[in-house]
Chains A and B, each alone.
Chain A
Amino acid sequence: MKAEARLLIFLGVFIGIMGIVYGIWSKEWGGTAMLIGTGILGVFPGLYYRWWSKRIGYRPEDRDATMEEGAGRIDTFPGSSIWPFTLGMGCWFLVLSLVFGTWFAVVGIPVVMFALAGGTAESRRGGDPAGH
């Protein structure tokens, strides 16, 4: 986790410093805001990962480990699901309603709600009953 954290913090700090230099020099606030915002977007998750790396130490994928050391449950993966497709169609209709009028939203909004509910229910049903 440490390398991951360093990567994000480095990018964030670098871009943040660039934003400060750019802001002072150019006095153009649009670009300055975008650069500094981007810097923060790198530092925040970076610090979060750093915090985790301190708590969990080295995972088998962070060090010279054999496959046996990483044996056991990896994760739970959905085999197939209709909800991404349904949600995609709902979103498509929402976007089309921006162009062709509200009629598309009348279809789109219920489909999106239905898909969100369906997908959430699927997540809660599936997976390891021990909960993770």
Chain B
Amino acid sequence: MVDTLERTTAHEDDHGHGHEEHHGPGGLLNWLTTTDHKVIGMNYTVTSVVMLLIGGAFAMLIRAQLTVPDGAVVSLSKYNELFTMHGSVMIYLFAGPFAFGGLANYMVPIQIGAPDMAFPRLNAFSYWLYLTGSITMLLGFLTASGAANFGWVGYAPLSNAVNSPGAGADLWIGALILTGFSAIFTGVNLVATIFYLRAPGMTMFRMPIFTWNMLVTGILILLAFPVLTAGLVMLYADRHFGTHIYDANGGGSPVLWQHIFWFWGHPEVYILALPFFGMVTEIIPVFSRKPLFGYKGMVFATISIAALSTGVWAHHMFTTGVVLLPFFSFMTYLISIPTGMKFFNWIGSMWGGQVRYTAAMLFAIGFLLTFLIGGITGILLASPPLDFFTHDTYFVVAHFHSVVMALVLGAMAGIYYWYPKMTGRFLNERLGKLQFWMLFIGSMVFIMPGYVLGLQGMPRRMAVYIIDPTWQNLNIVSSIGGFMIGLSTLMFAVNVISTIKAPKTAGPNPWDAHTLEWFTTSPPPHHNFYSLPNIKSERPTWDYFHPDAPALIHDDHDPSHVPGGAKADAK
């Protein structure tokens, strides 16, 4: 079944040709055979939110165990499995796939006026690799020797065949190979779609910032993930084929694994963060009724983050004693500059606007605040002497949870913003705001004690700790925060479930937004558009509905605005 598409415009009749009803198979077969980026994006979104729930359930067990110094909720060895699988599920199976497989898959083609991803079948293949990879990782719990238990980073020599025998570790490796290829194919698809399927007039510098961020994320995926996959293949070879690549006894180098892992791992931090940067950059101007402040600055900040993010990996390895401290410390300070620039642009976009505090906007602001805390403590950790002191303590756990809880807030912002587009229905705003306060306050209550505990020396990855009233009290507070986060997740589940049967009242453009996805119906038809407006700025939908107040043309010298466009320079 193949559809050949013709382009129609907003000025023609609303039911252009090339969009005849799509006759696909129905039901389960439809789900198995779909190549529609919207269905695949939905599949990704739902699967990754399920992974968030599973990883969150592990976190609840971890926090329950830590409420008392000698907790007996789980055994010591089960605890090792739990924090490994909590970290792995959250990073590999929730945060990334949610951002680049879920919302990006759904929104990027629509934002640039494309009918689908460039390679729809590859896109479907990515999803199946992701789903089977997720199942493979979780299968570890069903094996006799349990799931992987060497931390989400799988450091050598802990992850070798002697220290971690058993199927759990191999399932972990296999899962990461599957999800790694899934990510790579998604990266290929994003880049190709954005390079080749933009609508006429949608120049690179008129693309929505979310799309820009996903382009850069796609490029980062392509340069980072192959390194991880290669590293995993070598790890498997060490475990089963008798090679000694990471084995000091055989002349190999355990630190090489760390280099490879973090050469993927630090760009991965930005692969996780950039999509959420993109989401809040869409949301904040819309709910401030202003154009984005500093569009080009935003784009250049994103590109420089990508460029610099490949040169900072060994800030995770300061304590190995064999890395070039000044280089990595300096590069890490550098990368905070473009990230800081974005904060000014976000604040500038709200400044003097008519801010509407919808649930999506609240989550976006919560993202900014929480990410700011993570960013600032990250700058502290970029200083080697400080890192020597806090490495492998709860200070680090608190630092990166400030970042990842910001990602969860960003994910919620994206969901509340785009849910009407994806389903035609609104989530309950009041419950959404309640969920926001529960999640935001819960995150702070959960994170802050960690900073104190870390400075006092509480090591991470420990199921028990010394009996000390201060430590125990701080841990109890942290656990209360954790359970508040759990509660907020239940509120979210209730909110989604209670709207499943609601009438579709959203209409095409409920938020009076800027970008092309709000020009089409909610949910969009097969192949996305009945018609498209002419694209004159980075806010085509706004321009169309507000011809009296078009977006500011942000750069008068941009030659692509030359009438006629014959000699126009494509920026």
Contacts and interface: CB of A to CB of B under 8 A. Distances in A.
B260 interface: yes
Contacts of A100: 167
A121 interface: no
A66 B33 contact: no
A64 B306 contact: no
Contact of A64 (B167, B173, B203): B203
Interface of A: 1-4, 7-8, 10-11, 14-15, 18, 21-22, 25-26, 28, 30-31, 34-35, 38, 41-42, 49, 53, 58-85, 87-89, 91-92, 95-96, 98-100, 119, 126-128
B200 interface: yes
B357 to A, nearest CB: 36
B209 interface: no
B6 A64 contact: no
Given A3-B571, A26-B327, A11 B219 contact: yes
Nearest to B175: A95
A76 B32 contact: no
B67 to A, nearest CB: 35
Nearest to B202: A61
17 contacts: A3-B205, A8-B219, A11-B306, A63-B565, A64-B560, A66-B200, A70-B199, A73-B5, A74-B115, A75-B197, A76-B2, A77-B3, A77-B115, A81-B121, A82-B33, A95-B132, A96-B174
A84 B35 contact: yes
Interface of B: 1-11, 22, 24-25, 30, 32-36, 114-116, 120-125, 127-129, 131-132, 136, 167, 170-171, 173-175, 177-178, 181, 195, 197-205, 215, 219, 222-223, 227, 236, 253, 256, 259-260, 263, 303, 306-307, 310-311, 313-314, 322-324, 327, 527, 532-534, 536, 560-563, 565, 568-571
A70 B203 contact: no
A75 to B, nearest CB: 7
A114 to B, nearest CB: 15
Contact of B121 (A59, A84, A128): A84
Contact of A71 (B4, B6, B536): B6
A60 B113 CA distance: 13
Given A71-B6, A78-B120, A88-B129, A22 B327 contact: yes
A2 B203 CA distance: 11
A41 to B, nearest CB: 6
Contacts of A21: 327
Nearest to B526: A79
A24 to B, nearest CB: 11
Contacts of A72: 6-7
A2 B570 contact: yes
A64 B314 contact: no
B49 to A, nearest CB: 21
Contacts of A127: 2, 4
A22 B311 contact: yes
Contact of B128 (A7, A38, A68, A84): A84
A45 B324 CA distance: 31
